[in-house]
Amino acid sequence: MSHESVQALMSAEVSFSGVANPKKHDAPDSLSPMDMVFFGFLGECAGNYSAPAALQLKREGSLKRIAGIDLRLPPETIPFDDYFANGELAVTMHWLEDNGYLNPQTRHIVSTPTPTHVPIITALLNAGCRDVASEKPLTLISADAHALLGKNVHQISHQLAKTQMRKFIQECRAGLIPLEQIGHFDFFLLEDVGVTPGRAVDNVICDMHWHGYEAMVVPLASLVEPEQSFRMVIDEVVVAKYIGGPAIFAPARDWTLAAIKGRILGTHEITYRILAGKGWAHRDKRFVVKDRQGCELRSIPLVEEPRWRAHYRLLRELTKPVPDMLTTLEQAVGVVDLCQHSVQMAVEVETYPFGSMPFLEPLA
């Protein structure tokens, strides 16, 4: 799969190619028990999702040792086998080497603040590691993302790995969803909570709309023949920050809500809307697929308990000789382009009261 990016004055687009569905391999389902290293152990993602997922894999015998790497301060209790905290990446790399974690057999998961993803990934690859995986967003800068193409890097796309979304992707791969029937996508990822104090969070487009772009790109790429392509066109991006809200949440310093509208051009035109953010009136997490007459084909819930199960499925894939991470690196790079274009096109409007429902009617 390949993609190209083109930005116009009032719109932007990214082109994606179809991909062949993953083939079954004669290789064993999993390799010998391996080590797994997590960068950013204190972060919400690694601590709440990746850690319990990895511990489950260890109980099942897929992992031998689990190490947590944090570039800030160590926690009081460590559920992993090894832990190291230091503010300098070079020192961390020496520790990994001294403790036997720098090798092609170890899997490395990067879930640190986004600006540090590419430097850590690059350092690991230069040290001879393979199957390095990154939480979303891969990076905020398109040029950095394109520089990773051709490398052994995987994207962790946990929204796609949730039970019902994964089932939808598998149906698309099996040809059970006729492409010609699809006329519109609605992606809602709305939370009734605010920003957690002290959490390093990207602007809402790179943090949440990433999932919406992936939810459309990955299934469509499996429905399009490998020699064909489709274009994701961005037509409108509206953003805002919440004001007010419970004192347990931090004030909004960056955009907390965005609505994106656009079209997908291929065999026919498909329209889409992504509405995602925090400080909404109620939780609403679903991916809706409609036919060309506007009738609902699928309404896919994006909530799953326990919440770490989606990460577990993807980390388990990394223990296999040929991982199926649902999203290819090329697709992830294309989503970086989409997010960067969306940020550049964004029009900020007035703040909205925490707990309200802005943007809904004008874009319905």
Are the folds of 3-21+158-305+324-363 and 34-155 the same? no
Pairing label, strands 347-348, 229-240? parallel
Tens-digit pLDDT profile for residues 221-259: 999 999 999 999 999 999 999 999 999 999 999 999 999
**Across the chain, what does the average pLDDT equal?**
90
Euclidean distance between CA atoms 265 and 225, whole angstroms = 14
Domain boundaries, the chain: 3-21+158-305+324-363, 34-155
Query: Which amino acid, 37?
Result: V
Token pair recorded at residue 57: 């894999």
**Ramachandran angles phi, psi of 208, nearest 5°:** -120, -40
Query: What's the predicted TM-score (pTM) here?
Result: 0.93
Quick one: pLDDT at residue 224? Answer: 95
Euclidean distance between CA atoms 194 and 255, whole angstroms = 12
CATH of 3-21+158-305+324-363, one of 3.30.360, 1.10.150, 2.60.40, 2.40.160: 3.30.360
Tens-digit pLDDT profile for residues 282-328: 999 999 999 999 999 999 999 998 989 999 999 999 999 999 999 99
**pLDDT bracket for residue 51 (50, 70, 90):** confident
What is the CATH number assigned to the segment(s) 34-155? 3.40.50.720
Q: Which of 112-116, 188-192, 280-284 has the lowest mean pLDDT?
A: 112-116
The angle subtended at Cα 303 by Cα 265 and Cα 1, nearest 5°, is 35
Interhelix angle 117-126/89-98, rounded to 10 degrees, is 40
Cis peptide before 74 (omega within 30 of 0): no
Contact 94, 100 (CB under 8 A): no
Q: Does residue 141 register a pLDDT over 80?
A: yes
Helix (H) or strand (E) holding 5: strand 3-7
Q: Does residue 182 register a pLDDT over 60?
A: yes
Look-up of token digits 């391996």: 34
Q: How many CB atoms lie within 10 A of CB 240?
A: 23
Quick one: pLDDT at residue 362? Answer: 47
